[in-house]
Amino acid sequence: MSEPLIQFSKVNKKYGHIQALKDVSVSFNKGEFISIFGPNGAGKSTFLKLLCTMTGPSSGDILFEGTPLKKLKDDYRSKFGVISHQPFLYSELTALENLRFYGGLYGVEKIDERIKEILTKVELYKRRNDKVRGYSRGMLQRLSIARALIHDPEIVVLDEPYTGLDTHASGILTNILLELFDDKKTIIMVTHNIKQGYDASSRLAIIKGGKFVFNDEKSNISLDDFEKIYTEAVSK
Amino acid sequence: MNYLRTISAVVKKDLLHELKSREIVVSMLLFSVLTVVVFSFIFEPGSEFKNRVVGGILWMSVIFAGLLGLNKSMMSEVDGGNFSALMLAPVDRSAIFFGKAISNFLFMTIVEAITIPLFMVLYNVNIFNTGFLPLVVFFLGTYGFAILGTLFSIISVNTRTREVMLPLLLLPVMVPVILASVQALNIYVLGNDVVESYKWLKLLAVFDIIFTVVVFAVFDFIVED
Amino acid sequence: MKIQKILDIFAVLMVCVALYFAFIFAPSEKVMGAIQRIFYFHVSSAWIAFFAFFVTFVFSILFLIKQNYLFDDIAESSAEIGILFCTIVLITGPIWAKPAWGVWWTWDPRLTTTTILWFIYAGYLMLRKFIDEPDKRARFASAVGIIGFIDVPIVFFSIRWWRTIHPNVVQEGGGGLHPDMTKALLISVFAFTVLYAALLLKRTHIASLTRKIDSLEG
């Protein structure tokens, strides 16, 4: 096996006395679909923040393809597409304008072709000239997926992506994720929904109290066993 | 070059956003003109005394309108989480900041461009008596206001009180800009020797330079911990 | 803990000594009389206020660089003590000004700058109250702590230029102090500095305990 794509090496993150992550050493390979579970306040969002350089570790190193993040420049962030429960969109602008702006920041080439491609995928191309303000919730979420993927990121980070998603949008998201997985993209998803996370991913992880208490490939464990482990880990 | 492209992308986006919503400039403009009108009740119409205070009235109406606009402008970034998305983009984060500051500067400039002529008609004074130095005052003063105002608006929209925090933080720090701008404007309105105003212009320039550098130095630390 | 106790006792002693020097040892001022004695505390408080805000400035920078939350606690504590002494300056100022200059308030550059300073740090402390997340609070407060302090000299110069335009500026009393007055002043400044150190140590201790409790609840 070659160098892992992302490697956390003894990473600690403290906010004063609050230790959000404790000595986390974990690595993920390219092409994996990792679902991360854990109770509220376990350190999931801190983990994602560290991954996207929204914050730096208090101690320890995070390596991307063997290079510490500290040495990588702002360009590193272009490896990521983040889908969150927040839409990350300007409500007064149209879908096209939003994607043009964000695509511009990511330095996307042939932007109009790319926008057409991605909007078609989320089934919003016909509505491209409508203000986002008038979008339904489901449409907004689909557009937010398109926004996150506009620059064809290597790693897709999803923070509770299914929360509040209607069936249509969640179907589209699942299809897109499967497609990305087939394309050998790395997907890191934080979710509460165990069944959905288990079905989709290739690797499962549980964070509890700032630590990875479970991290294994899905093929090694059945859904029932995993649910048991999760319940046990959370109730402790 | 990439730095400048990021700045211009943010500015273009803000102008487009404003062109479509017209929320910021219109509310600022209404407020500043309203302030100008309301302040006219302070003195007898046509009294000579007014020339000593009109500079202050004009500048304060712009400042108060600016406070209103800064909050609104930053709210459009916070609603929907766009600010986080901007911080996630693979660009220098301070470029995003200066883009926002320039947008705010432009919004205020538009408001000034309409408020100043209206003000001169309503108060029957000509602030350009002695040349076009007032434009320099407005340029430097507005820039200083925009640069610190943008930073403080990022801070204030992250607090529980939102609107209240911005003026409380910004006005005391803005004292040099307010003083210098008002004093310089008074010199022009009263038709005094413009040389007297040079030191105020210098003070404004020094303020602008110092805080551009300071903000540039601390911004990255503030948004990522 | 031990240093705190020693410092407390020392501060109490020094304040007593300073009181003696200010009220008994120092001679009465010829023109102003007894009221002038407030000057020792007024000047000392002003010194402590500026010094405290300077400490906030330094520890705000240190926090942003080192991300050590103890520095944030120190910055907060110092600002709080600073605003206390700043308030004392703003109260003793008018008490002294009324008999000396015949007015409660004058827009003298120093007094005005102190007022602006008070507002800047009142905003700083209020900001801290209105942000719930400790990391955001620390980062944003640091920014205000740094910008606020850098602003102070600019505020001072702008106000001084402004006041010298108007001819009716009230002149400060003569420069020559009686040697015993100088002694009393120096001792008072020293006593206040010790008091500041004792207060800062205590307040920082409380701040870091509060942080600990918050983290246990969270």
Three-state secondary-structure class, residue A26:
strand
For A58, which of C67, C134, C214 is closest by C-beta distance? C67
Q: Which residue of B has its CA nearest to C135?
A: B225
Number of domains in chain B: 1
pLDDT at residue C170, rounded to an integer: 42
User: What is the mean predicted confidence (pLDDT) over B30-45?
Assistant: 87
Contact at CB, A15 and C212, closer than 8 angstroms: no
Instruction: Decide if pLDDT at C172 tops 60.
Output: no
- Choice among B37-46, B121-130, B140-149, C64-73 with the minimum mean pLDDT: B37-46
Number of domains in chain A: 1
For C218, which of A18, A55, A56 is closest by C-beta distance? A18
Burial of A123 (0-12, 13-18, 19+ CB in 10 A): middle
CA atoms within 13 A on the CB side of B224: 21
Three-state secondary-structure class, residue A150:
coil
Give the pLDDT band of residue C164 (cuts 50, 70, 90).
Answer: low
- Measure the CA–CA gap between A232 and B201, rounded to whole angstroms: 69
B69 or A192, higher pLDDT: B69
Pairing between β-strand A33-37 and β-strand A67-68 as defined by DSSP bridges = unpaired
User: What is the mean predicted confidence (pLDDT) over C18-37?
Assistant: 82
pLDDT at residue A156, rounded to an integer: 93
Instruction: Identify whether A41 is part of a domain.
Output: yes
Residue with tokens 């929904």, as numbered in its chain: A193
Question: pTM value?
Answer: 0.91
pLDDT at residue C167, rounded to an integer: 43
Query: What rounded mean pLDDT belongs to chain B?
Result: 91
CA distances from A154 to A29, A78, A81, B53, C203 (A): 12, 8, 8, 61, 49
**pLDDT single digits (tens) C4-25:** 889 999 999 999 999 998 888 8
**pLDDT single digits (tens) A190-231:** 988 888 888 888 999 999 888 888 888 888 888 888 888 888
pLDDT at residue C176, rounded to an integer: 63
pLDDT at residue A54, rounded to an integer: 83
Strand order across the beta sheet in which A59-64 lies: A18-28, A6-15, A59-64, A67-68
What are residue A204's phi and psi, to 5 degrees?
A: -120, 145
pLDDT at residue C169, rounded to an integer: 37
For C64, which of B152, B172, B221 is closest by C-beta distance? B221
Query: What rounded mean pLDDT belongs to chain A?
Result: 88
**pLDDT single digits (tens) A87-104:** 899 999 999 999 999 999
Burial of B87-100, coded b for 16+ CB within 10 Å and e otherwise, reads: bbbbbbbbbbbbbb
Residues contacting residue C85 through CB under 8 Å, at least 6 positions apart = C45, C46, C48, C49, C52, C192, C196
CA C216 to chain CA mean position, Å: 33
Instruction: Identify whether A65 is part of a domain.
Output: no
Tell me which chain A residues have a C-beta less than 8 angstroms from the C-beta of B89: 77-78, 102, 105-106
Contact at CB, C218 and A16, closer than 8 angstroms: no
Instruction: Identify whether A60 is part of a domain.
Output: no
pLDDT at residue C171, rounded to an integer: 46
A133, two tokens: 């303000």
How many angstroms away from the CA of C133 is the closest CA of chain B? 10
Nearest by Cα to C73 from C218, C215, C176:
C215
* Count of C-beta atoms within a 10 Å radius of residue C33: 11
Tell me which chain A residues have a C-beta less than 8 angstroms from the C-beta of B80: 86-91
Burial of B162 (0-12, 13-18, 19+ CB in 10 A): middle
Q: Give yes or no for C165 touching B (CB within 8 A).
A: yes
- Chain A to chain B Cβ contacts (< 8 Å): 74
For B160, which of C130, C139, C147 is closest by C-beta distance? C130
Q: Which residue of B has its CA nearest to C61?
A: B218
Residue with tokens 């997340």, as numbered in its chain: C133
Question: Which domain, by its residues, includes B185?
Answer: 2-223
pLDDT at residue B101, rounded to an integer: 97
* Count of C-beta atoms within a 10 Å radius of residue B132: 9
How many angstroms away from the CA of C50 is the closest CA of chain B? 16
Instruction: Identify whether A132 is part of a domain.
Output: yes
Q: Are B80 and B40 in contact (CB under 8 A)?
A: no
Q: Which of the other chains make 3 or more beta carbon contacts under 8 angstroms with chain C?
A: A, B
**pLDDT single digits (tens) B78-131:** 888 899 899 999 998 999 999 999 999 999 999 999 999 999 998 888 888 888
Tell me which chain C residues have a C-beta less than 8 angstroms from the C-beta of A56: 67
Instruction: Decide if pLDDT at C153 tops 70.
Output: yes
C106 or B119, higher pLDDT: B119
pLDDT at residue C36, rounded to an integer: 81
Instruction: Decide if pLDDT at A56 tops 60.
Output: yes
B164, two tokens: 């209240």
**pLDDT single digits (tens) B157-207:** 989 887 889 999 999 999 999 999 999 999 999 888 888 899 999 999 999
User: What is the mean predicted confidence (pLDDT) over C34-63?
Assistant: 93
Q: Are A64 and A44 in contact (CB under 8 A)?
A: no
User: What is the mean predicted confidence (pLDDT) over A150-172?
Assistant: 86
How many angstroms away from the CA of C40 is the closest CA of chain A? 40
For C123, which of B148, B169, B221 is closest by C-beta distance? B169
Tell me which chain B residues have a C-beta less than 8 angstroms from the C-beta of C65: 221
- Choice among A100-114, C81-95, C175-189 with the minimum mean pLDDT: C175-189
Q: Which helix (H) or strand (E) holds A67?
A: strand A67-68
Q: Are A20 and A170 in contact (CB under 8 A)?
A: no
Tell me which chain C residues have a C-beta less than 8 angstroms from the C-beta of A55: 135
Q: Are C128 and C76 in contact (CB under 8 A)?
A: yes
Residues contacting residue C99 through CB under 8 Å, at least 6 positions apart = C32, C33, C35
pLDDT at residue B184, rounded to an integer: 94
- Measure the CA–CA gap between A98 and A147, rounded to whole angstroms: 8
Contact at CB, C151 and B199, closer than 8 angstroms: no
Q: Which residue of A has its CA nearest to C137?
A: A15
pLDDT at residue B45, rounded to an integer: 67
This complex has an ipTM of 0.92
Instruction: Decide if pLDDT at B143 tops 50.
Output: yes
Instruction: Decide if pLDDT at A112 tops 70.
Output: yes
Nearest by Cα to B118 from B17, B37, B25:
B37
Q: What is the CATH number of the domain that holds A227?
A: 3.40.50.300
Residues of A engaging B, defined by a Cβ cutoff of 8 Å: 52-56, 74-78, 80, 82, 84, 86-93, 97, 101-102, 104-107, 131, 147
For C215, which of A16, A55, A56 is closest by C-beta distance? A16
**pLDDT single digits (tens) A165-175:** 778 888 888 88
Q: Give yes or no for B222 touching C (CB within 8 A).
A: yes
Pairing between β-strand A59-64 and β-strand A6-15 as defined by DSSP bridges = antiparallel
Question: Which domain, by its residues, includes A201?
Answer: 30-54+74-235
- Choice among A39-43, B18-22, B219-223 with the minimum mean pLDDT: A39-43
- Measure the CA–CA gap between B207 and C130, rounded to whole angstroms: 28
Instruction: Decide if pLDDT at C98 tops 90.
Output: no
Rounded percentage of chain B residues whose pLDDT exceeds 90: 68
